[in-house]
Amino acid sequence: MKAVGLVAEYNPLHNGHLYHLKMAKQITKADVTVAVMSGNFTQRAEPTILDKWQRTKEALSVGVDLVVELPMQYAVQPAHLFASGALSLLDSLQIDDFVFGAEHPDWDFNSLVQAENKFESTDFSKYNATYATAFNNQLIEHTGISLTEPNDILAFGYTKAKLKSKLSVNLHPVKRVGSAYHDEKIDDTSSISSASAIRKAVKNGSAGFESLVPEQTAVDLKELKDVNDWNDLYPLLRYQLIQAPLNYLAQTYQMSEGLEHRLKQAAQRASDFDAFMRLAKSKRYTYSRIQRVCLYALLQISDEQMQIKNKQLYLRILGFNHLGQEYLHQIKKTVKIPIITKVDQKSRDGQLQLDYRAGKLYEQLSGVEQDMRRRPIIV
Name the binding residues for ATP: 7-20, 101, 151, 176
Residue ranges at the known binding site: 7-20, 101, 151, 176
Torsion on CA atoms 348, 350, 355, 360, rounded to nearest 10: 40
- For residue 362, give the nearest of 40, 68, 43, 45 by alpha carbon: 40
Query: What CA–CA distances, in Å, run from 250 to 294, 297, 343?
Result: 12, 9, 31
> What's the first-to-final CA gap in the chain, in angstroms?
19
Query: What CA–CA distances, in Å, run from 211 to 63, 190, 220, 222?
Result: 18, 10, 14, 13
According to DSSP, the β-strands at 66-70 and 32-38 are parallel
- For residue 230, give the nearest of 162, 172, 175, 276 by alpha carbon: 276
